[in-house]
Amino acid sequence: MSEPECTQKKPYVVEEEAGTRAWCACGRSANQPYCDGTHAGTGMKPTIVQIEEKKTVAWCGCRRSGNGAFCDGSHARL
């Protein structure tokens, strides 16, 4: 797989509790926006994110963000 799959052209907006999350960077996970291990064999791996406190997170759904796991609006240019 040369490029990650775009799962949606908008962010996954989730109210997150503090803790560690593994954001799916390949776009293949059935548990979006989180990794479920389906990246095996793609050469890609999840992005590990530490959430310090409860907050709303806009996880990138298009996999084209210049801000890693977080939406930066890149989906608007797809």
Q: Is 67 contained in some domain?
A: yes
Give the separation between CA 29 and CA 37, rounded to whole angstroms.
Answer: 7
**6, part of any domain:** no
DSSP 15-56: EE-SEEEEE-SSS--SSTTB--STTTTTT--PEEEEE-SSEE
- Asked if residue 54 is part of any domain, the answer here is yes
* Contact criterion met (CB below 8 Å) for 22 and 47: yes
Do the domain assignments include residue 25?
yes
Residue 33 counted as domain residue: yes
Tens of pLDDT, residue by residue, the chain (78 residues)? 578 999 999 999 999 999 999 999 999 999 999 999 999 999 999 999 999 999 999 999 999 999 999 999 999 999
For residue 24, being part of any structural domain is answered with yes
The predicted structure's pLDDT at residue 2:
73
pLDDT in tens, 47-62: 999 999 999 999 999 9
CA distance 54 to 69: 17
Tell me, yes or no, whether 27 lies in a domain: yes
Name the residue range of residue 62's domain: 12-77
Q: pTM (2 decimals)?
A: 0.94
Total domain count, the chain: 1
